[in-house]
């Protein structure tokens, strides 16, 4: 299936209410909606980002330049007044930061696949919140193209310590972030 056919099929795809759909490098990825720990972390982050300056969007697919990808981050942050007023996709070039909360089934996608996709889309900051490892990974300074794209700066902060989010002009408190008990640790970042 060519890129145009893939996008048309994706736009017409009807998924059950509890299933999330994304295109990641030409592959349609379906995943279950998130649980309570995940949702609480996203809500905590949203509460700390001032609405007066920033739009905080959930379940928003992003249009990526030069990519056959339409990821749906857990949270998309952009300045108020930028971006389209309607439509299904938010252009990556107007996005200031994306946030992904790692689940047991999304570790590789969040740390590897989406890291490269978001960097290729020139999104200034990618924040990975990992309740498996109780850590935040802030990636900034995107560089490169396609699958070779990556972030040049990586900062790891343990849950409980504040995360400086320079792109938003704030420090994110993480002391109320929950974790997943009894989940086997992984090897990322």
Residue 158's pLDDT is what?
A: 98
Domains of the chain: 34-172 (3.90.1570.10)
Computed over every residue of the chain, the mean pLDDT equals: 90
Q: Are 107 and 188 spatial neighbours (Cβ–Cβ below 8 Å)?
A: yes
* pLDDT greater at residue 35 or residue 141: 141
Q: What is the DSSP letter of 99?
A: E
pLDDT over threshold 70, residue 14: yes
pLDDT tens digits for range 41-89: 999 999 999 999 999 999 899 998 778 889 999 999 999 999 888 888 9
Q: What is the pLDDT of residue 3?
A: 66
Beta carbons of 154 and 137 less than 8 angstroms apart: yes
pLDDT of residue 112 exceeding 70, the answer is: yes
DSSP secondary structure letters along 150-185: EEEEEEEEETTS-EEETTTTEEE--TT----TT---
């Amino acid at each position: 299936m060519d890129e145009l056919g893939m996008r048309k099929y994706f736009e017409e795809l009807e998924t059950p209410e509890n299933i999330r759909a994304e295109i990641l490098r030409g592959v349609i990825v379906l995943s279950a909606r998130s649980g309570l720990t995940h949702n609480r972390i996203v809500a905590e982050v949203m509460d700390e980002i001032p609405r007066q300056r920033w739009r905080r969007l959930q379940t928003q697919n992003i249009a990526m330049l030069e990519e056959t990808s339409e990821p749906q981050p857990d949270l998309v942050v952009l300045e108020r007044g930028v971006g389209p007023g309607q439509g299904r996709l938010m252009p990556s070039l107007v996005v200031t930061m994306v946030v992904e909360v790692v689940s047991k089934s999304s570790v590789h996608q969040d740390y590897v696949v989406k890291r490269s996709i978001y960097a290729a889309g020139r999104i200034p900051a990618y924040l990975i919140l990992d309740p498996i490892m109780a850590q935040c990974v802030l990636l900034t300074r995107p560089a490169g193209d396609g699958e070779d794209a990556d972030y040049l700066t990586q900062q790891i902060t343990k849950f409980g310590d504040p995360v400086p989010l320079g792109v938003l002009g704030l420090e994110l408190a993480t002391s109320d972030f929950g974790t997943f008990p009894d989940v086997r640790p992984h090897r990322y970042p």
